[in-house]
Chains A and B, each alone.
Chain A
Amino acid sequence: MSRKVKYTAAAILCTALLSGCNSGGCLDNQSALPKAQLYNSQGEAISVDSLQIRGVGAPGDSVLEQGRLSTFYLPMRSDAGVTSWEVAYLRKEQNPTGVCDTIEFSYRSIPYFESADCGATFRYLVTQVNTTHHFIEDVVMTDSLITNVDRTYINIILRTADEQ
C-alpha cells in the first residue's frame, strides 16, 4: 500500500512538472504601440535628421522623439478618442519660420485580453487620420486595427526627396 502511495505521488509530481513548464511568456508588446515609418515621395524608407515628435497636450509639452529618425512609436491616449502629434523639422535653413505638421488620429479604444502573460490592453480601431501638409505629403495606415503585435502601422510620406 505504501509503495502504491509512493508511485501515485511520483506520477502526480511528474505530471505537475511537465504541465507547468510550457508557458509561452509575453513575446509581443504589452500594449498596443503603433510603429511609424518615414518614407520619401518615391516610396523609399528614409531616415530624417533634426526631426522632433511631440504629443499635443502631453504633460509639460514633453518631446517623444528627437534627432535622426526613421521609425518611432506613437502611443495613443487610451482615455481619449483622438490623439494628435506635432512633427517638427528643426533645421533653420530648410524651415526658417519653424512651422510643423500635425497628424491627428481618431480612433475607438477596444479593451482586449491578450494572454495571461501579456495581460489586457487596448486595441485601437483608427477611423480617421488628418494631417497638415507642410513637410508631410501623406499619412497611410497599413492596418486600421492597431494591436500589440510589433509591426509598422503608419507610413508617413515626407515631401523631402533630396535632403535627408
Chain B
Amino acid sequence: MNNKLLIILLTFLCAAMSFSVMAQNKKRHITPVQNANTRTQSINEGSADTARINAAIRARSTHYHNDRGQVVYVDTITGVQWVDSMAFLPLKKMKYPLLQSASAGLNLWDPIMRAFGQKYGLADIHLSVSLHNRYRPAIVMGLGQALRRSDIPHYTYRSPLSVFFKIGCEYNFLFNSNPDYQFYAGAYYGVTPFSFSVDDFKVDSDYWGSDVTGSIPSQKCLAGYYELVAGLRVKLIGPISAGWTFKFHGVAHCSKKDGGEPWYIPGYGAKGRSITGAFSIYYTVDLSRFNHNKASTDGHDTTE
C-alpha cells in the first residue's frame, strides 16, 4: 500500500517537473509581435521630441556662413533658413588674410625719458606678425642699463648692460578696418638675467661720531615680469608707423639676494612703478602675397 502511494507521488512529481521545463522552454521561444502598431509606436512616441525633429531637419539640410560669420542652415525640402543659436560666439568675417604683415619697431621711450632725467633704460626692438590684421604675436629683445647717483641718501647704483626678452600677443580691435590705424591690447611676459651693485653708500652715525661707507658687490639676479598693454598705432608715411603704448606691469619673480632688492630690472624699469609707456617707430612689410588663398570680399573667409 505504502509502495503504491510512493509510486503515485513520484509520478505526480515527475509530471509537475516536466510541465515546468516545458513552460520555460515555451517562454524562451516567444517571437515578437510585428504589426502596424508596433512599427509606428516609436515614431508616434517621438513625434513631439524636438531634439529628434531638429536632428532630422539638420540631416536633410545644408548650411553656409553669412556676412556676420554666423552658420545659417537651409532646409533643402522646405527652403526654411535658420541660424544656429548654439553658436554663441560667431566668428566675424576676416577681411584680411592670415599672413597680413610683419613689422619691426624700435622703442624710443627710454632714450626720450633719459633726455628728461630718467636714470635707466636703453632701447628695444619689437618684432611681430599680424594675422588677419587681428592677432599679433610678438617678441621683444632689448638692452637695459642703469646708473643712479643719489646724494641723500648717498649711494651710486649700477646695473651694467643686460639683455631682456619678452614674448606676448596683441589683439587689434580694429581688425576689419584700415590697418593704418590700430587700437590694440595685449599681454607680455618678460625675463632678464642681470646684475647690480651699489658703491660708495654712506650710513650716518650721529652717536658714534663717524659716517661709515660701504659697497655691495655685484649681485646676479634673474627676474620675470608681466605686462598688460594697450596702445594705438598710426601710419605716418609709407611703411613707417608710430605707436604709443600704456603698460601696466608687475614683477612675477625675482631671485633673492643677500645684498638687497634690485631697483632696476632691464625691460621692466624701476621697481615700485606699476605704470609706464612705450613709444615706437615701426617698419611694416606686407605679407599678403605669401597667402595661398586671397581673402575674398564676399563674406567667406578662405584663409582659415
Residues of chain A touching chain B, judged by Cβ–Cβ distance below 8 Å, are: 1, 4, 8, 11-12, 15-16, 18-19, 22-24, 30-31, 55, 58-59, 62, 64, 75, 77-79, 109-116, 118-122
Whether A19 lies near B157 (C-beta < 8 A) is no
Whether A8 lies near B157 (C-beta < 8 A) is no
Number of residue pairs A-B, CB distance < 8 angstroms = 118
By beta carbon, the residue of chain B nearest A121 is: B203
Chain B residues contacting A109 (CB-CB under 8 Å) are: 214
Q: How far is the CA of A113 from the CA of B207 in the complex (A)?
A: 22
Q: B137 CB to closest chain A CB, in angstroms?
A: 24
Whether A64 lies near B207 (C-beta < 8 A) is yes
Whether A120 lies near B244 (C-beta < 8 A) is no
Assess A122 versus B154: contact at CB under 8 Å? Given A18-B275, A22-B275.
no
Chain A residues contacting B210 (CB-CB under 8 Å) are: 79
**Interface check B167, CB cutoff 8 A:** no
Q: B273 CB to closest chain A CB, in angstroms?
A: 5
By beta carbon, the residue of chain B nearest A31 is: B203
Chain A residues contacting B90 (CB-CB under 8 Å) are: none
Q: Per a CB cutoff under 8 Å, which of A15, A64, A122 touches B203? A: A122
Chain A residues contacting B112 (CB-CB under 8 Å) are: 12
Q: How far is the CA of A12 from the CA of B175 in the complex (A)?
A: 25
Tell me the chain B residues, 215-256 only, with Cβ under 8 Å from chain A. 215-216, 232, 234, 236, 242, 244, 246
Query: Given known contacts A58-B207, A111-B216, what 19 new A-B pairs fall within 8 Å (CB)?
Result: A4-B236, A4-B242, A8-B242, A59-B209, A75-B207, A109-B214, A111-B201, A111-B214, A113-B260, A114-B261, A116-B148, A116-B150, A116-B263, A116-B270, A116-B272, A120-B155, A120-B198, A121-B201, A122-B214
Whether A119 lies near B273 (C-beta < 8 A) is no
Whether B153 lies near A22 (C-beta < 8 A) is no
Whether A77 lies near B273 (C-beta < 8 A) is no
**Interface check B45, CB cutoff 8 A:** no
Q: How far is the CA of A5 from the CA of B206 in the complex (A)?
A: 54
Assess A120 versus B208: contact at CB under 8 Å? Given A12-B244, A111-B216, A112-B216.
no
Chain B residues contacting A118 (CB-CB under 8 Å) are: 153
Q: How far is the CA of A116 from the CA of B261 in the complex (A)?
A: 10
Whether B208 lies near A77 (C-beta < 8 A) is yes
Chain A residues contacting B216 (CB-CB under 8 Å) are: 111-113, 120
Of B113, B155, B203, the most chain A CB neighbours within 10 A belong to B203
Whether A59 lies near B204 (C-beta < 8 A) is no
**Interface check B116, CB cutoff 8 A:** yes
Q: B116 CB to closest chain A CB, in angstroms?
A: 7
**Interface check B176, CB cutoff 8 A:** no
Whether A22 lies near B273 (C-beta < 8 A) is yes
Q: A6 CB to closest chain B CB, in angstroms?
A: 12
Q: Which 5 A-B pairs have the closest CB atoms?
A: A119-B153, A15-B277, A113-B260, A120-B201, A78-B212
Q: B218 CB to closest chain A CB, in angstroms?
A: 12
Q: How far is the CA of A120 from the CA of B200 in the complex (A)?
A: 9
Q: A8 CB to closest chain B CB, in angstroms?
A: 6
